[in-house]
C-alpha cells in the first residue's frame, strides 16, 4: 500500500491530517456537536479514553476558541484521561490513568477544585483480543466504567457522550429497513433487543438519551454513540464504581413493554448531507500539473502498546521471516479510528 493509498480511500483520514487533527475521529465529535450543540455553556469538560487526543483537540479548540473570542467568562478546564501517555495539548490537563478506578474520578474532581464537569465524553475502546464476545464484554465494561466516573464528576443537567459496545447493544440493520425521520438521515437505523435495554437503563440517569451516528463514522460499521443529556440520577443514588447498569433493582424486560409503554430508541444521523460520506472514495484534489503531496500524521501516538511489535518487525526480529511484508517498511502511524 503506497503512502497516498489510505489518503485516497478515506477522505476523513486525509482531512484529519490536512486540518491538523490527531485522528479522524475528531470529525465524529464535531458532527455530534453540530446536531446536539454539545459545547454551549461548557467550562469544564472531561475526555475519557482520550489518546491520541483528537477529541481533546476538538474540546480545546472549541471551548478555548469561544473563550478567546470573549464569549466565555469562566476559565475553561479540560481533563483528558487515558491509560496511554499522550502528547501535550494546549489547555488540556492529562491524567494517565484507568477509568475503572475511583482514584481517577477523585483526580478529575481535584483538578476541577471540587466543581462538577459540564460535559463528559468517552470514545473508549479496549485492545481487541480477536475473541468477539470477549471484546464486546470488555467494551461494555468500559461504557459502565465511563458512566461510573461520570456519575462522580458530572453536574446535574450535564451531558455524557459515549460509544456503546457494537454488536452487543446495537445491531446494524440493512439500509432498506425503514424509519428515522431526520433530514440528515443516512437511511440506516440501529435497533435490537439490547439497544432498548441500554437506552432504558441510561434513561434512569439522564432526561434524554439518543443514539447518534455521525456521518464520518462508516456506514459499514455498527459504530454509533449515545448522547445522554440532562443528567438526573435516581433519587438517593450514591455514585460508586460498581456496575449500575447491571443492578437487578432496575430489571425490567423493556422489550416486552407494549402500546404506550413501548420503548422507542431515538436515532439521529449527524453531519449534514453536504458532509463527506465516509464510505465513498473521493479523488485527490489536484490542480492541473501538480503532484500529490503527502501530509504526514499530525501527532503519532507516543509510546503506544504496539511500539515493541513495530520495532521487532522493522528490525526483522520476529520469529517468522515471512511475517514481514515488503510494504511494511514505513514506520508511520496516521490518524486512527
- Which residues of this chain interact with ligand SAM, rule CB under 6 A? 22-23, 25, 49-55, 81-84, 98-100, 123-126, 142, 337
Return the number of the residue (23 or 189) whose C-beta is nearest ligand SAM: 23
Closest C-alpha to 88, from 116, 60, 68, 65: 60
Return the number of the residue (76 or 143) whose C-beta is nearest ligand SAM: 143
Strand order in the sheet with 267-270: 92-96, 77-82, 44-48, 117-122, 154-162, 225-231, 206-214, 267-270
Shortest spacing between CB 12 and ligand SAM, in angstroms: 12
Residue 72 CA to residue 122 CA, distance in Å, equals 24
Task: Give yes or no: 28 in active site.
Answer: no
Shortest spacing between CB 327 and ligand SAM, in angstroms: 24
Return the number of the residue (11 or 29) whose C-beta is nearest ligand SAM: 29
Q: How is 128-179 classified by DSSP, letter by letter? A: P-S-HHHHHHHHHHHHHHHHHHHHHHEEEEEEEEE---HHHH-EE--TTS--
Shortest spacing between CB 96 and ligand SAM, in angstroms: 9
Return the number of the residue (51 or 209) whose C-beta is nearest ligand SAM: 51
Residue 275 CA to residue 84 CA, distance in Å, equals 32
Residue 169 CA to residue 224 CA, distance in Å, equals 10
**Tally of CB atoms within 10 A around 155:** 13
Shortest spacing between CB 47 and ligand SAM, in angstroms: 7
Return the number of the residue (87 or 173) whose C-beta is nearest ligand SAM: 87
Shortest spacing between CB 57 and ligand SAM, in angstroms: 8
DSSP SS3 for 110: helix
Q: How far apart are the first and last CA of the chain?
A: 18
Return the number of the residue (109 or 173) whose C-beta is nearest ligand SAM: 109
- Residue 142, phi then psi, degrees to nearest 5: -65, -40
Q: Are 101 and 88 in contact (CB under 8 A)?
A: no
Shortest spacing between CB 337 and ligand SAM, in angstroms: 5
Residue 206 CA to residue 66 CA, distance in Å, equals 27
Return the number of the residue (35 or 82) whose C-beta is nearest ligand SAM: 82
Instruction: Tell me which of 17, 62, 77, 163 is the catalytic residue.
Output: 163
Shortest spacing between CB 84 and ligand SAM, in angstroms: 4
DSSP SS3 for 70: coil
Per-position b or e across 184-216, b if 16+ CB within 10 A of its CB: bbbebbbbbebbbbbbbbbeebbeebbbbbbbb
Residue 68 CA to residue 63 CA, distance in Å, equals 9
**Looking at the annotation, which residues are catalytic?**
163
Amino acid at each position: 500500500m503506497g503512502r497516498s493509498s489510505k489518503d485516497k480511500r478515506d477522505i476523513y483520514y486525509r482531512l484529519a491530517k490536512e486540518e491538523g487533527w490527531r485522528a479522524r475521529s475528531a470529525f465524529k465529535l464535531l458532527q455530534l456537536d453540530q446536531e446536539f450543540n454539545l459545547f454551549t455553556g461548557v467550562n469544564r469538560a472531561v475526555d475519557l479514553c482520550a489518546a491520541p487526543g483528537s477529541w481533546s483537540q476538538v474540546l480545546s479548540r472549541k471551548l478555548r476558541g469561544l473563550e478567546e473570542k470573549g464569549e466565555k467568562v469562566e476559565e475553561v478546564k479540560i481533563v483528558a484521561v487515558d491509560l496511554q501517555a499522550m502528547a501535550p495539548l494546549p489547555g488540556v490537563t492529562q491524567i494517565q490513568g484507568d477509568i475503572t478506578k475511583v482514584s481517577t474520578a477523585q483526580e478529575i474532581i481535584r483538578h476541577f477544585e471540587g466543581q462538577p464537569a459540564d460535559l463528559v465524553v468517552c470514545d473508549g475502546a479496549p485492545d481487541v483480543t480477536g475473541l468477539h464476545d470477549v471484546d464486546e464484554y470488555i467494551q461494555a465494561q468500559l461504557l459502565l466504567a465511563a458512566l461510573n466516573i461520570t456519575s462522580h464528576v458530572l453536574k446535574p443537567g450535564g451531558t455524557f457522550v459515549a460509544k456503546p459496545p457494537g454488536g452487543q447493544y446495537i445491531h446494524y440493520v440493512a439500509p432498506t429497513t425503514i424509519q428515522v425521520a431526520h433530514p440528515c438521515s443516512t437511511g440506516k437505523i440501529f435497533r435490537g433487543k439490547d439497544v432498548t435495554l441500554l437506552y432504558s437503563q441510561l434513561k434512569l440517569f439522564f432526561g434524554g438519551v439518543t443514539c447518534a451516528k455521525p456521518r464520518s463514522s462508516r456506514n459499514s460499521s455498527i459504530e454509533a454513540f449515545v448522547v445522554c443529556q440532562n443528567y438526573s440520577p435516581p433519587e438517593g443514588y450514591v455514585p460508586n464504581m460498581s456496575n449500575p447498569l447491571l443492578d437487578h433493582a432496575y430489571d425490567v424486560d423493556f422489550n416486552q413493554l407494549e402500546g404506550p409503554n413501548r420503548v422507542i430508541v431515538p436515532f439521529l444521523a449527524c453531519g449534514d448531507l453536504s458532509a463527506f460520506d465516509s464510505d465513498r472514495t473521493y479523488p485527490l484534489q489536484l490542480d492541473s500539473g501538480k503532484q500529490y503531496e503527502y501530509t504526514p500524521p499530525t501527532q503519532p501516538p507516543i509510546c503506544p502498546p504496539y511500539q515493541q511489535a513495530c520495532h521487532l518487525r522493522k528490525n526483522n526480529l520476529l520469529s517468522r521471516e515471512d511475517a514481514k511484508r515488503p510494504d511494511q517498511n514505513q514506520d508511520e502511524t496516521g490518524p486512527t479510528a
